[in-house]
Each structure stands twice: as structure tokens, then as C-alpha cells.
Amino acid sequence: MSYQSVNPFDNTLAQSFPETTDAELEDKLASATACYAVWKRMSYAERAVVVMKVADLLTAEADRFARIMTAEMGKRIDEAKAEVLFSADILIYYATNAETFLKDVKLHPRHGVGHMESSPIGVVFCVEPWNFPYYQLARVAGPHLMAGNTIVVKHAGNVPQCAIAFEELWVAAGAPVGLYTNLLISHEQSDRIIGDRRIKGVALTGSTEAARVIAADAGKNLKPSSMELGGNDAFIVLEDADLAHTVKWAVWGRMYNCGQTCCAAKRFILVDQVADRFIAAFKQGMQALQPGDPMDSKTTLGPLSSEQALLLLLEQVKVAVTHGSRIELGGKRIDRPGAYMEPTILTHITPDNPAYYEEFFGPVAMVFRVADEAAAIALANDSHYGLGGSVFTQDLARGKRVASAVETGMMFINNISWSDADLPFGGIKDTGYGRELGDMGIHEFVNKKLVRYVVADAPE
């Protein structure tokens, strides 16, 4: 596997990084294991000192960390800075609340007394993607370190500078050696790590294809795992929706991070009565986005993360059109240096079209027309994925009804407020299993131990 920083703004190579050798990997795993033996015995308050210090450093140097991200994967600079600050918020959230989340839970058996207590399990191996280079790291580091585990992390090959910078934060914060470890490893080394007896849990955020391999390896080795994978989220627009409000969310929901978000709005499901007006306004909003340097705050359309990502997306659009889809807007590469693609709208996508069940990880929106609310729910549920979704209506009771009927891990009414530190994040079906963030996120890799006391004689 290659670890390279290639700026998608102009496709120039900034720096390459050597992979971790087997000997170096062994040293790092040994350090993480040794650190766990000490870290697990530290109090929540002692752990919080380190985690809060990392949050402080992130906040103080938000501009610097944002620029590293923008240069490596093309995220517009304002979005990048917001991600850095959100990452700090996640760390603060767990440093503040971990002890409460993991406190003993009293039980009330018929005889005697008992409780459930939570304890760490050891070294957790995390495999993370490039689309949110710091946020993805913070949302595993915050809960799992505060729970008393240590973590070793394989980040994506195209964001090595982000990965290294995040690890350096922990060193600067005074973390013990082995608490948080970045690994520039190959796929073969990654496979071996899962089978290593020192690894006690596996967390992946990535593709369904990668998850099938990693989850199978974790299962074969009887290790708990969490899998946060892709999505094909429905954006349902009912006939009574506030159109101006809805279209703003539609453009943002499809184009935030240049559409490279697992829980982005991807399938726009429109009741016929509002479809023509929505499409016209949506098209206008997408056309208004102007490509430019992602380091410039005035830029409204940045590049995709890489040339490879762009070529994959263009091929997906080509295949969709070959199978009968129509391009209502865009569909082509933008004629300029870098990995830029026109904001794109596809219509007339039928179930026999490969695009119908695919995830377009970039600025491509699929638009569907349906007769009514029931048809909208049925189409929303006709997906291999089940991460998020949204419904727009001025009738809150109706919105709640639709939200409850859509088969997905998260639903939003009249917004797409995907993620907050205190809200569990995750999905069902091919989107995977487990939850990150919120109080649920810290329970993924802890031992739930029953402790019971009862006065009783052994049976004769």
C-alpha cells in the first residue's frame, strides 16, 4: 500500500511516506500493550487530563490542521476548520462524560444484590477513511481511550500527513507511549494484526467490501467489532414541504464535502405534486456552485479527494446513462487542473440500472418521482444500505410517521443534522453495525461484567 500526499487541487505530489516495517510494527504493538496495563488503572480524571489537552491543542491550532487536511484531500478550508473544531468537541465530550457513561448499573435480582460494571478490554485496532481525516480519528480516540483502552490506527493512504499530525497531538499532550499509535501499514500487515492475540477489538469505517473481509477476520478470531460503512440516504420531499427551506438543505446535503460523505443526501425522492418545482430550484442551486481553490474561503466547489475518486465517479455516471438514466445537469469533468467534477443530477433511474442500488461518493444526485407518501417510504426502503435519511414536511406528526417507517439507523425531519458528539451514529443492513458517538459509542469495546452477592448455601 502506498502512503502519499497528492493535492487534488492540482494533482501534484507533495510527499511520500515509507510503510511501517514488520519490526517497527512489533515494537508499536508491544508499546500499546504495555501502555494498556498502566492506562487501564488510571482514573477517569487522569485520563481526561490527556484527552482534554489534545482538544485544547486542536482548538489552538485549528487553522494549521485544517490546511493540512485541505492540501491532502481537497476539503474546502472553512469545512476543514469546522471539522477540526468538531473533533476537539468530541474529545471534550468524552473527557467530561466517560465516567458517568460507564458507571456501575444497579440490578435488582429476586435474591441478593448485583450490578453491572464496565471495564476496558485492551488494544483496539481502528481502520479509518480519508473523507473526515480528523473527525474519524477523534470519534474512536475519545470514547475508547477514555474507557481505558489503547488504540492502534491504520488511516487511509492518501492522508498520511493528517494521520501523523493527529498522532503528534497525543505526544505533545503528554500521552504515555503506546496510548495512541498511527500505523503506516500494508493490507497484509493489517490482516495479520486482526489475528494478533494482543488486539482485543476491531473498528472500521470504510466500504462494505472492506468490511466483509475485516469483519470476517475479526469474527474468525472471536473479537468484537464495529463496522460503519457506506450509505445511500433518501431525501424525501412531501407535497407540503417548505420548498425554499428544503432546497437549501438539498444542495448542502448533497454537496457538503463535495458529496463525499457516507450519510449525505443521495436519493432525492419527490412526491409528484412538488417534483417539477423542486428540480428546477435544486438545479439552480447546484449550478450556482463555482469551482476554485479549496484554500480560498470564497470557493463554493472544491475538488474530489483524488484523481482516482473522480474517474470512478465518472465511470459510474457513464454506466448509469448506458442503462437508461438521463443527465439533467453536469455529468462531466470540469476543464481545469485537479480532480474537479460538475455537480450532477441523474433522473429516470430504474431498478434494473446498476446505479439504483449504488452509492455515488461525490457530487452526483439521483432524483426519483413517486405518487405519494407510501410510495416514497417504499422507495426509501428499497436499498441495500441503511445509514441515514430525511423527510421534509410542514406536518411534524407526518414527519415522525415517515421517519419511523424508513428502515435506517438515523432519520432527520426538515434538516440533515447528521452528527453531534452526544448523538449515536450508525446504521443497519450493508451500512454495518455498532454505534459511534453519544453514550452508546463508549460501550462498543468494554467488558460488561455482572457482579452479584447473595446469601445462599450451595445446593445439596
- The reply to whether 15 and 116 lie within a common domain is yes
Assigned domain for 118 exists? yes
Q: Does residue 53 surpass a pLDDT of 90? A: yes
What distance lies between CA 161 and its chain's CA centroid? 19
- The reply to whether 320 and 208 lie within a common domain is no
**Nearest to residue 162, comparing CAs of 82, 244, 69?**
69
Residue 81 in grid coordinates:
476548520
Mean pLDDT, residues 258-264: 97
Mean pLDDT, residues 361-368: 98
Mean pLDDT, residues 339-367: 98
Q: How much is the pLDDT for 118?
A: 98
Instruction: State how far the Cα of 274 lies from the Cα of 171, in Å rounded to an integer.
Output: 55
Q: How much is the pLDDT for 124?
A: 98
> Residue 279 sits in which domain range?
233-413
Assigned domain for 424 exists? no
- The reply to whether 246 and 335 lie within a common domain is yes
DSSP 136-201: HHHHHHHHHHHTT-EEEEE--TT-HHHHHHHHHHHHHTTPPTTSEEEE---HHHHHHHHH-TTEEE
Q: Does residue 178 surpass a pLDDT of 70? A: yes
Mean pLDDT score across all residues of the chain: 97
Other beta carbons within 10 Å of 81: 19
Instruction: State how far the Cα of 144 lies from the Cα of 91, in Å rounded to an integer.
Output: 11
Q: What is the per-residue pLDDT across 68-88, written as a single tens digit (0 to 9) for each?
A: 999 999 999 999 999 999 999
In the sheet that holds 446-453, the strands lie side by side as 105-107, 113-120, 446-453
Assigned domain for 421 exists? no
Assigned domain for 329 exists? yes
Q: How much is the pLDDT for 418?
A: 83
Mean pLDDT, residues 200-227: 97
Measured CA distances, 84 to 45, 65, 211 (Å): 24, 7, 26
Mean pLDDT, residues 241-266: 98
Mean pLDDT, residues 190-209: 96
Amino acid at 173: A
Query: What one-character DSSP code corresponds to residue 87?
Result: H
Helices (H) and strands (E) in the chain, counts: 14, 20
Structural domain total, the chain: 2
Evaluate the CA torsion angle 394, 400, 404, 410 in order and state its sign: positive
- The reply to whether 24 and 98 lie within a common domain is yes
Residue 237 sits in a domain whose CATH number is 3.40.309.10
Instruction: State how far the Cα of 34 lies from the Cα of 54, in Å rounded to an integer.
Output: 21
**Nearest to residue 414, comparing CAs of 266, 258, 250, 259?**
250
Q: Does residue 380 surpass a pLDDT of 90? A: yes
- The reply to whether 64 and 209 lie within a common domain is yes
- 114: region left, alpha or beta (phi > 0 left; psi from -120 to 50 alpha): beta
- The reply to whether 30 and 159 lie within a common domain is yes
Assigned domain for 383 exists? yes
Instruction: State how far the Cα of 400 lies from the Cα of 265, in Å rounded to an integer.
Output: 18
Q: How much is the pLDDT for 194?
A: 97
- The reply to whether 128 and 192 lie within a common domain is yes
Assigned domain for 211 exists? yes
- The reply to whether 181 and 245 lie within a common domain is no
- The reply to whether 45 and 30 lie within a common domain is yes
Which residues does the annotation mark as catalytic?
Answer: 228, 262
- The reply to whether 339 and 326 lie within a common domain is yes
Q: What is the per-residue pLDDT across 112-154, written as a single tens digit (0 to 9) for each?
A: 999 999 999 999 999 999 999 999 999 999 999 999 999 999 9
- The reply to whether 195 and 83 lie within a common domain is yes
Q: Does residue 1 surpass a pLDDT of 90? A: no
Q: Where residue 456 falls among pLDDT bands split at 50, 70, 90?
A: confident
Q: Does residue 204 surpass a pLDDT of 70? A: yes
Residue 53 sits in a domain whose CATH number is 3.40.605.10
How much of the chain, in percent, has pLDDT values that exceed 90?
Answer: 98
Instruction: State how far the Cα of 204 lies from the Cα of 4, in Å rounded to an integer.
Output: 21
What distance lies between CA 50 and its chain's CA centroid? 24
- The reply to whether 262 and 293 lie within a common domain is yes
Which stretch of DSSP H or E encloses residue 115?
strand 113-120
